[in-house]
Each structure stands twice: as C-alpha cells, then as structure tokens.
Structure 1
Amino acid sequence: MFLQRVRNRGIQLGTLFERAAARHPANVLILDHDLDIAPEFGRRATVAEAADLVDDIAARLWAVRIRPGDRVVVHKTDGFDITLIALAAARIGAVPVLLSPALDGHTVAELVRRTDRPYLVTDAAKLAALPRSVFDRAERVLLTSGSHQGALELAALAGAPRVPSVTMPADHPTLITHTSGTTGVPKLAVHTGRTLQARYRPQATALAGIVHGRETVAIHVSFVHSRLMTALAISLLRGFPVAVLADSDPGAAADLFARLRPGVLEAHPNSFMAWEELADDPREPLAGVKLFSSTFDAIHPRTVRRLLAASRRRAPLFGQLYGQSEVGPVVVRGYTRRRSAHADGRCVGMPFPGMTDIRVVSRDGKPPSSDNPGHIEIRSDGRIVTYLGEQERYDAQVSADGWWRMGDVGYRSRWGCIHLLDREVDLIDGFGSTLAAEDALFSKLEQLTEVVIVPGSAGEPVPVVCTRDGAPLDLDAWRTATAGLPPMADPVQRHLDDLPQTATTKIKRLELARWLAAENGSA
C-alpha cells in the first residue's frame, strides 16, 4: 500500500501505561467515576499507579489460564475499567474484544458465539441480562463485581503473581471492536498493532502542531471504541494529565471542567451538542480549551460556533476528523472563530498528506457533484484486517486496487475538500442531503438538541426532533426555518434518551424509521 514506506513497528497496548509512567511517573489520571474492578483505586491517581493496576489485572487474567492469542470479550457496566481490562489482556498477549454496555443481550450472545469460545469478562448486573447460552459459548465467565453461579469473581484472584508482559508481532490481532450496528448486528473489526499505529501517526502529528506545553486533556469517548486507545497513547506518552469521563451530563461535565480547566477536549459530536449550554455557564468551564476534537462524524456548525465562542484562548481550534471504525481518521478539517460562523458543515476536510488518501466514485457514470453524490472510498494503513468470521463482507468493501468503500456518499469540491452528504442507506429519493437539511435547521433553531430526518412509511421525509428540556417545539419558528428546504412531513417530537443510539451516541436512523412505521401501524 502507498504508506508502507513509513516504518511502523506496531503499537503495544499492553505496556502503554508502563511506558508513559517511565517517561512521566508523576503525571495524573483523573476519573469522574469509580472502577468496578478496583473501587479502592479512587478518582485521581498517578500514571504509575494506573500502570500497576493494569499489571495486577493482567496477573489475575493469567491466573485464570488466559494465554497469548486467546480472546477476551469485555462486556460490562460502563466505566474506564473496560479500557484497563483490555490493556491488561493485551499485556499478556491475549486479544480483547470490546462490546458496548448498550448492546442487548441477544446481540451480545451472538457476538460471543462469533468470537469462538472466548473468555467473557462482565459483572453480575450485566450477566443477569444475558441469555444463559453465553455460558455454553464462553470458555469461562469472569466477574469484575458481584457474584453469579457458574462465574468466577476476579476479586478472588487479587494478589496473583505478576507475570512479564508479552510482545506480540505487529501484524497479530491486538484489539477487536464492533461497528456501530446502525444497519443490523454489529460486525467485529479486527485491529493489529500495525493498523493502530498507523491511526496514531496522523492524530499525533496534528496534535503536535496545535498544542504546545502541558495541557490537561479531557476525553469523553466510548470505552469500547478504538479511538480511545489512540487518544490515550497520544496524551499519556506526551505527559498530558488526562481526565476520562463516563458521564456526558452537561451539569456534571461543567463541574469537572470548571475545576480542571482542560486545554484539550475530545468527545462525540452528540456530546458536544449537549455541552453547548456550557457556553452560558458563569464559571466559564470551557474558557481554557485550546482544541476541541471530534473524531466520529461531521458536526453541526452551530455547535462549533458556540463552543469556540466559549473559549478564552487567543486562537482556539475545533478539529473535526472524519473516519470510520474500520479505517480510523481519514480526513481533517479545522474551524476557527473566523471560519465557523457560516461554515459548510458538509465539508469534512482533506486527507492527511502522505498518510491517507480519498476518492469519490460515480454511482451512475456521471461525475459526482452536490446534486449527484458518489461513493466515498479511502486508502489508509489504519484499515482493519478483517471482520471476524465474516471475511466475505470485508472483501466486498475493498476494491481490487485497495480502496475501501465507506458506505457514505458525497463529492469533492474544486479545492479538494470532501463533502459528506449522507450515508448511502439513508438516502431519500428526491430530497437531497438530509445531513445538510439538519445542519440548516440547527443553525436556525436554538431550541433543537437533535433533529434526524428519516423516511416515513411511504418514503416521505419525516423530521424527528428533540428540544432543550423537552419543551414543546415552536411550530411557527419551525415553519420559518423549513421554508427554504425541500418539503417534509410534520415534525415528530421525541425525548433524546428515547431514540435508538450506538455506542458513540449516533442515532440509529434505520431503527428509528422502523419505530416510526410501527407506531403509525398501531395508531
């Protein structure tokens, strides 16, 4: 591939905290929650203490006879110990398989089956919600907290003899995560040390050019997403204090940020949307932010504008990375106060020079354009090596010359910027870009906290809206805001927590459309 000229020895997840502690032993890790597997760890510790905890967990896993190459599924109540258990498994050469706490029990059981008799690390509360069949599909069930008949409590193995770390080959699987599952049962994405290192490089390069000195990095990213691994590596190895959030509640986040004054803030787009109200907090919890970083999807210009305005840094930047679980970040775009007010939210950025490449392929033989979007395809050495147990599905997305089809449609501007218009499966005939329409509605209606346009039972565009504090939608303002947009059905108002979401808080549009159809059918 075009990036093979760059030397890549592969990232070693299992020794991440150990290496960070060797460089910056007094650096700190801050949490907004207690760890199930080690409640005594507290909410503030040195990186050296975190490294010792990873070593301790690794020793307990080794005592259960987990060995290099074994798979360890982690499906437990949300918390940073998901990440620590994954690092501990990698430390002894095992392959962690991270499953979101939000997955339903039958999906978890199916993914455990697909993983081929793994060790399952969970807790009593989660295990009680799983089908009994997981005991038959797992080599052994291990609990981080609580008790359950037939499962082994990891607490009973405290003090197990420590074991040396195991270095696996760079091309060996080192982590398995799952895709968003917006179109059905999630796929299991297999990462190697080499593919994760390839993802680390562009992100580390971008950060080094923006953030100087010792800044506190606050991260609210799904604990089962590969992005958290690279975000931690970039921050810890540079000696940045790291705050990891499990709770995205704006009030809780404001309290923490007002105390810590983070200089870098990384979160999902939907979390940033929820945190818009922090801009009005008199304590100015976002005043110290130099860089806002959003990795998963294009973000609405209104959110960018409000957050940048809340910073008191001289030249804050909002960095948007467009990518996918399977390939990592592919293109990047930066917003400043001067560029954010009327920015086109559909322009997601440019490839990383020498690291990623991108093209747009026609769907109908005509040149891709804003009116006729094409398939977005990319090349990156950060691409996963397979879908576990589904090689044919993986191969179907890779062209003969190595281009990966993202499942998104868009076009490339005359300046080379990639414009993302829609997911291919979400296209509504004759409507244009649903994402662009949603951007326009957000910019005009401050009341909105979410708007998703999905096809109705007859194919008509149906806007589903959520408002701040659940207040009734201002229909007069709605009619004014939609006057210049393609025709839509009347808005359907719902509470945000009621909408189906992925582990990274994306709305599952297809599932939402099915819900609406079912509601209409029963009405």
Structure 2
Amino acid sequence: MLLQRIANRGIRLGTLLERAASRHPSNVLILDHDLDAAPQLGRRATIAEVADAVDDLASRLWAAGVRPGGRVVIYKSDAFDITLLACSAARIGAVPVLLSPQLDGATAAELVRRTERPFLVTDRSKLDEELPEGIFGITERVLLTAGVHEQATALADLAGARRIPAVTMPVDHPTLITHTSGTTGTPKLAVHTGRSLQARYRPQAAAVLPVLPGRETIALHVSFVHSRLFTALAISLLRGFPILVLRESDPKHVGDLFAQLRPGVLEAHPNSFMEWEELAEDPRGPLANVKLFSSTFDAIHPRTVRTLLGATRRRGALFGQLYGQSEVGPAVVRAFSRRRGEDDDGRCVGIPFPGMTDVRVVSRDGNPVSPDNPGYIEVRSDGRIVTYLGEQERYDSQVSDGGWWRMGDVGYRTKWGCVHLLDREVDLIEGFGSTLAAEDTLFGKLEELTEVIVIPGPDGRATPIVCTKDDKPLDAIRWQRAAAGLSPMADPVHMRLEELPQTATSKIKRLELVRLIAARTAPLA
C-alpha cells in the first residue's frame, strides 16, 4: 500500500517544489554553483526557499506575457536554474522547451524556429557568442537571466511582480518538451505530457523504495535539460531526501564534496561514473557511504560497476542500471551487487518493469533472433512521448501496431527474459560482432583506459578510439593481449577525452566521431 501511494503521488512539475516544501520545508538543496535566475538561493537553501524562488520566477514570466499553453524555450548557460525555470513555466500552465547549453547556436535557433515563436529565456553570453542575430525575429520575446540587451527584457527588471496562483493543465496536455541526444543528427523535440511523465515516475519510485527505506542524501549529476532529472528530483523531494546537485564532474571537485557530505545515493551519467573510478582510491572514502549507484542513460562498463561497488562500505550496496530512451523513459532495469562476477555480461541491461513496460526483439532478416543475429529492440510503455514537435511523420515511423516503439538498438532476449543490448542500429559493423561488448572487454582488461569507442574506420574496418589516464601512450603489447580474443581491428587511434564529441548526457556522438576520424585521415587535395 505504501509502495503504491509513493508511486502515485505524481510529478506535476509546476507544483513539485511547493508540494515538497509543504511536507519537508526544512529539507535542503545544495549546489556546487551559483544561479543566474535565482542568486538569492546561494549554494545552500531550504526546499521552502527554492519553492518560493520558483513561484517568484513564475510571476515574472507571467508579467512578461507568458500564458497557459504558451511555449517557453530555455537555452542558457549551464546551471540548475534551467530546471527551476522549467518548473516556473509549468506552474503558470506554459510548456517549457529545454535546449542543452552544449547545442551550438545555429542548432538551437533551428529548434526555436520549430517551436513557432516561443518566448526565449537565455542570457547575454548566449546572445553574443552563440545565437544568430535573427533570433529576435523568430521569438515572441527574449528574456535574460543575466546581462542586458536593448532588444531583450531582463528577468531581474520584473522582480516584485504579482504572484500568480498555480495553473492546473489537463494530464494529456503537453507539460514538457526536451530534445533527443542528437547522436544520429539534428536533435528532435520530444513532447511529454503529465500522464507520460507520471508513467515514467511510477516504476522508478516503486523500484527505489525497497532499496532506500530510510533517509539518504542524494547526489545528482544529470543534464539539466533531460527528463530524467525531473523524475529523480520528484522521488527525492517528495520523500524529504537532502539533495546535492552537481554541475561539474571533475573527480577532485566531486571528491571534495562527497568526502564532506557523504551521499547515500549517486545518480549520474555513465561517463561521469567512469571519471569517478579514481575516487575509489581516495583515502577520505568519498564513496564509502553510497548505498545505491544509479545510471539511466547507457549500459555501463562492468569494470566501472565493480570499481565503484568496491569503494562503498555500505552493506547490501547496489548499482542500479536503467535502460531506456528520451522518447519512452526507462524500459528495463537491472541491479548489480558486489557478488557480480568478473565474467558477468555487461550487455545484459535487465528485464522490463512488471506491469509497466514491455520489450520485444524483432528479426531484421526473417531469421530467428540470437546473439549472432540480433534483432530490433522495441518497447511498449505509457511513458512514451506523444509526438516529435513539428515532425509527426517521423514520430509515426517509429511506432508500430500495438504501440511498439523502435529503440534504434539491436540485441536479443534470453530464455529468462533478460534484454541484451549489442549495438545501435547505425553503429553495426557487419561481421565484427558487438562493438559494445568489445569495448566492455577492452575497458575491463586495460585499467589505463578512460574511454574506448569502436567505430568503422575510413576503410570500413573496426577502428578503436582510445583515451588514457593522463593521456599517456598506450602500451602496444598490453593492447594486443587485451584484444587477442576479439574480431580483427585496425590499430587504435589515441585521442584526448575532451576531443571526443559528446551529447548533453555525455554520450559519445559516434557518427560525428566517424566523420572526424575520416577527415583526419583524408589525403590533402
């Protein structure tokens, strides 16, 4: 009964902070950075103070002319106030459209254009350095969180605006628009409703409750423009968990904070967890109190799971992995404990949430699906978005009869129902096998690696791109031993981690990396 009650509380973005504050007003939010739109919060504030800031920002948006059903694009410098502004827009019935600060200005402008004359919340640096001059011609009004501009309105100038009661919108009305990762081209705008967000929240809340029966400090390092952040916040806020929100992932910075605050739960991108492996050797034990590591965005390397679980002293500590997509939310779940074996398959991403999500794997060629002949992974979930804004045909092309959504990944299911993810459809290298499994093997055998990506090279051969600790040269003999059992590959290409093109959630843009490598090796004209 308690489990169902927790799961049914709902997200309802516009009043999330207000409801959390009514239950746990003295609960705290801790930040590792300052906020442009709400500087009065500092780096530590009660949830009651944060809720008041959301109410205040909502009143300023209303004073600027934002109304229920209107769209508010938020494209500003990276900070948690992106999330607060989204809640503020939703509070007055508007639809926040979240664009990653990492998007280039031309791509952001194209998405603004697709949104059809929205209000745009940005800052002076984005106007000067990223957005094209024509941005004012495709927006209703430009609002600034920092700086001034003669053609824009500073939100600071609207301080003291009359407070507006929260507006309740129908559950099937759009409530949030996020964009896809953009790993395969221009991002698509994914439209979420109150009902679809609630459907995503329900399985996650139900899964967390048995693992965390008591009060824990939650540390979140999740993209401020990703829908996952809102479900993670709702679970934490409504249960009164203190929350540490991180913008930076640098291990030294993170280690200092964790050593002081001793979080019991870490939620982060897989690549961030890979960076934090070095914290396992920190004598201060910054990971010693972690009861649950949680990763949502990609299957994570087994080496990383073993390293992090080995660093906590909590009894029964778990590493929870959710496989899903921006369009459908989490679809399957798997938990790892310290008992995980060295040979445990990192490609196994888990099983569907009983009664909430379902998965099937469809043959690509009419032959039975197997590890050697992976099929298309398809998901059915009430958490699925309702459309791609301005691209209905593209959306319809991914939905088949019965509401099955094509994930763009290939894999298979075992007789136990476990889903095994082998590759993205667009990343398949015929005759090579699973590139992701090869990466797991290499990453597990070579502790000096900080990243390894296997892509098709200019000649079509599988080509490993490697990054190493401190950018030290890779030992050729060690590499040959590690790669001995894998399909033949070209010689590894050594790059610095910061050179790899990444999305807002730290995924490697593999297709862009393919083009980058091809350009490097192209003969001069």
Task: Check whether TM > 0.5.
Answer: yes
Corresponding residue number in structure 1 for 2:359 = 358
- Other structure's SS at 2:372 match: coil
| Partner AA of 1:266 in structure 2 | E
Corresponding residue number in structure 2 for 1:388 = 389
Is 2:496 the counterpart of 1:492?
no
Is 2:438 the counterpart of 1:440?
no
Residues 503-523 of structure 1, C-alpha deviation per residue, up to 9 Å, x if partnerless?
Answer: 000000000000111111146
Corresponding residue number in structure 2 for 1:176 = 177
Give 1:127 deviation, angstroms: 1.4
Residues 154-196 of structure 1, C-alpha deviation per residue, up to 9 Å, x if partnerless?
Answer: 1111111111000000000000000000111100000000000
Q: Distance in 2 between matches of 1:340 and 1:70?
A: 52
Corresponding residue number in structure 1 for 2:14 = 14
Residues 178-219 of structure 1, C-alpha deviation per residue, up to 9 Å, x if partnerless?
Answer: 000011110000000000000000000010011111100000
Q: Is contact 1:10-1:192 (8 Å) kept?
A: no
Corresponding residue number in structure 2 for 1:81 = 81
Q: Distance in 2 between matches of 1:36 and 1:228?
A: 19
Residues 71-129 of structure 1, C-alpha deviation per residue, up to 9 Å, x if partnerless?
Answer: 00000010000000000000000000000000011100100000000000001111112
Give 1:10 deviation, angstroms: 6.0
Corresponding residue number in structure 2 for 1:208 = 209
Corresponding residue number in structure 2 for 1:255 = 256
| Partner AA of 1:366 in structure 2 | N
**1:421–1:249 Cα change, 3 Å:** same
- Other structure's SS at 1:407 match: strand
Q: Is contact 2:279-2:287 (8 Å) kept?
A: yes
| Partner AA of 2:456 in structure 1 | P
1:230-309 equivalences under 5 Å are: 230-309=231-310
Give 1:11 deviation, angstroms: 3.4
Q: Is contact 2:323-2:349 (8 Å) kept?
A: yes
RMSD: 1.0
Q: Is contact 1:59-1:163 (8 Å) kept?
A: yes
Q: Distance in 1 between matches of 2:11 and 2:36?
A: 27
Corresponding residue number in structure 1 for 2:329 = 328
| Partner AA of 1:71 in structure 2 | R
Corresponding residue number in structure 2 for 1:511 = 512
Q: Distance in 1 between matches of 2:8 and 2:448?
A: 48
| Partner AA of 1:66 in structure 2 | V
Q: Distance in 2 between matches of 1:88 and 1:38?
A: 12
Q: Distance in 2 between matches of 1:314 and 1:43?
A: 31
Q: Distance in 2 between matches of 1:362 and 1:149?
A: 58
Moved more, 81-90 or 336-345: 336-345
Corresponding residue number in structure 1 for 2:347 = 346
Give 1:379 deviation, angstroms: 0.4
Runs ≥4 residues deviating over 3 A: 7-11
Moved more, 33-42 or 73-82: 33-42
Structure 2 segments unaligned to the other structure (5+ residues) = 1-6
TM-score (norm 2): 0.97
Corresponding residue number in structure 2 for 1:27 = 27
- Other structure's SS at 2:343 match: coil
Q: Is contact 1:124-1:146 (8 Å) kept?
A: yes
Structure 1 segments unaligned to the other structure (5+ residues) = 1-6
- Other structure's SS at 1:310 match: coil
Q: Distance in 1 between matches of 2:11 and 2:52?
A: 20
| Partner AA of 2:392 in structure 1 | Q
Q: Distance in 2 between matches of 1:343 and 1:142?
A: 51
- Other structure's SS at 2:102 match: coil
Corresponding residue number in structure 2 for 1:4 = none
- Other structure's SS at 1:338 match: coil
Q: Is contact 1:68-1:92 (8 Å) kept?
A: yes
TM-score (norm 1): 0.98
Corresponding residue number in structure 2 for 1:61 = 61
- Other structure's SS at 2:340 match: helix
Corresponding residue number in structure 1 for 2:4 = none
Q: Distance in 1 between matches of 2:148 and 2:453?
A: 41
Q: Distance in 2 between matches of 1:69 and 1:405?
A: 30
| Partner AA of 2:17 in structure 1 | F
Q: Distance in 2 between matches of 1:309 and 1:163?
A: 50
Q: Distance in 2 between matches of 1:425 and 1:165?
A: 44
Aligned positions, number: 517
| Partner AA of 2:232 in structure 1 | A
Give 1:148 deviation, angstroms: 2.0
Corresponding residue number in structure 1 for 2:228 = 227
1:37-48 equivalences under 5 Å are: 37-48=37-48
Q: Distance in 2 between matches of 1:473 and 1:201?
A: 45
Q: Is contact 2:117-2:139 (8 Å) kept?
A: yes
Q: Is contact 2:21-2:51 (8 Å) kept?
A: yes
Q: Distance in 1 between matches of 2:523 and 2:226?
A: 37
Corresponding residue number in structure 2 for 1:476 = 477
Q: Distance in 2 between matches of 1:256 and 1:341?
A: 31
**1:383–1:8 Cα change, 3 Å:** farther
Identity of aligned residues (%): 73
| Partner AA of 2:418 in structure 1 | C
Moved more, 302-311 or 490-499: 490-499
